[in-house]
Structure formats: C-alpha cells, structure tokens
Amino acid sequence: MEKIFPPSFFTIMVHLVIHLANEARLAGPIIYRWMYPVERFLLTLKTYVRNRASPEGSIAEGYLANECLTFASRYLVGTETSFNQSIRNEEDRNVAIDEEVSIFANVGRPLGRKKNKGFSSNKRKRVSRITLDNQTLVQAHRYVLFNSDVVAPFLRKHEQFIKRRNRSPRLSPYEIQKLQSETFHDWFHDHVTQLEQQGNANITDELRLLARGPMDTARRYTGYIVNGFRFHTKARERLLRTQNSGGCCYS
C-alpha cells in the first residue's frame, strides 16, 4: 500500500486525509515523487568519501571514476562486467532440444554439489533416487500425454469414443473432460497396442514409448532453476529466511 498511497493516507488525522484527492490529482502516484531513490543514491555518494577532510572533492572524484569505468567497461571484450555478467538464476542454454519431442528436453539446472566436484560432505546433495507410487506415476504419465502434440489426434478420438458410449444421458463438457482425464492413459495404451498388432505403420517408437508409460524410478532435487526462477523444497529452506517453495502443477 505504501507504494501507491502517500504517508498521509495512513494517519488518523482527518484533516490530512481530506487533501488526498487533490494531492493525487496534482502529483500522481507516490512512486513518482517519493525520496527513497534519492536517499539510496546519497548513500552511494557517501561511500565515495575517502578523505574526510574534503568530502565534496572525494565525492566528485569518485563519481567521475565510476563514470569512466562504466564507459570503458562497455567496450571490453571477453571480460565479465556488470553489464554482461550472467544472472543469478541463469540456466544452461546449450542443451540440445528435439523439436519433435520438446516436452522431454532437459530445461533448467539443479542446485547442489556435483559428484565430480571435491566439495565437503556438509554440502547439500545434488540429486537422489526415489521410487514413485502408482498415483504419481499416473499423474506424470497423464501430464506428458496431455501436453504432447503427437498424442493430440488420439485425444480427439478418445473424446469421440466417450461421447458415443455416453449418449444417454448426454454428458456435459466438464464431465467429458474429467472422464477423459481419468481413463485416457489406459485407453491410449490399449489402442496403441491394438494398432501395433494390426501392423499399422503410423505407430512410431515415440508413440510406443508414450503408451508404455514412465519408469517407476525418478531423480529428486532439493533445488532447481528453470525459466529464470529458483525453486526449493521445504526441507531445503527450513533454516533459511527466504521462501522459494510453493510451485505446483496439476494434472
């Protein structure tokens, strides 16, 4: 609220609140006229003081040196500066992505120590192996199927199959979507198996693997960086002041 309204909005004195409308009309939002940027810059100028006997001269020389370094750093090649340094949550951009199966691309990078690095044992582990339960397997399989372009024709065919089986009473669009979400992975597995037994040439290795489903083992990370954002598990940030957990994906 303090970023939008002036300080007089939060006072109990009525005669100050009365002038808020005129103040907002004349001056606009408070963010364009508050003093926080000026005060922060004054602190920056204060750090330039090296000779306390001549603070004004120190500030002038420090500001001039900063301007010169900023100008020169824009033309430095092969040197990391404040203008070309990578962001903190930058992910690996050199990952080869298959355009046909882009959903399986390794996007982002995990946090923690690597096995080939000689870090001490008190560092957080990078990855651990887990065994998924049946519900998690179904949710992961369902998410991949519903977000893969090669499965889109089978989704439409399965929707028509549901409508034919439930003509009376006719299902609503919500009921069709819910029923398809619950039964499509089993129907897709049986349908691809049937087409493969019939010798259908359109059944590729990709469709065969998608119908088979995921493995019951997976890698678990305590931290991951993806799309410029950092995500932690609750156990990782248990002793931290910041919170980077809470991301979820419904399938």
Count other C-beta atoms under 10 Å from residue 72's C-beta. Answer: 10
DSSP state of 178: H
CA–CA distance from 152 to each of 98, 222, 230 (Å)?
Answer: 18, 33, 31
Q: Is residue 107 part of a domain?
A: no
Is residue 239, in this structure, part of any structural domain at all? Answer: no
Question: 124 lies in a domain?
Answer: no
Sign of the Cα torsion 198, 203, 207, 212 reads positive
Tokens of 161: 């199959």
Q: How many domains does the chain divide into?
A: 1
Check residue 32 and report its DSSP letter.
G
Do 135 and 176 touch, CB atoms closer than 8 A? no
In this predicted structure, the answer to whether residue 167 has a pLDDT above a threshold of 90 is no
- Three-state secondary structure call for residue 11: coil
Per-residue pLDDT band for 121 (boundaries 50, 70, 90) equals very low
Is residue 68 a contact partner of residue 74, using CB atoms and an 8 Å limit? no
Q: Which residues contact 216 (CB under 8 A, 6 or more apart)?
A: 131, 132, 137
pLDDT digits 0-9 by tens, 72-89: 988 888 888 887 777 778
pLDDT at 12: 64
Q: Do residues 162 and 205 lie in contact, with contact meaning Cβ atoms separated by under 8 Å?
A: no
Q: What DSSP designation does 127 have?
A: -
Residue type, 177: Q
Q: Is residue 203 part of a domain?
A: yes
Domain around 201? 134-212
Domain contains 229: no
DSSP string, 176-189: HHHHHHHHHHHHHH
Residue 92: what pLDDT?
67
Task: Confirm whether 65 is domain-assigned.
Answer: no
Backbone CA torsion sign across 52, 55, 59, 65: negative
Both structure tokens of 81:
């500066």
Tokens 């089986």 — which residue?
165
- With respect to residue 66, please indicate whether it lies within any of the assigned structural domains: no
How far from the centroid of its chain's Cα atoms is residue 83's Cα?
23
Any idea what DSSP says for residue 30? Answer: G
pLDDT in tens, 172-228: 889 999 999 999 999 999 999 999 888 888 888 888 889 998 888 988 888 888 888
Q: Residue 157: how many CA atoms within 13 Å on its side-chain side? A: 10
- Report if residue 245 sits inside a domain: no
What sign does the dihedral 109-246-149-185 (CA atoms) show? positive
Report pLDDT digits (tens) over 217-250. Answer: 988 888 888 888 888 888 888 888 877 777 666 6
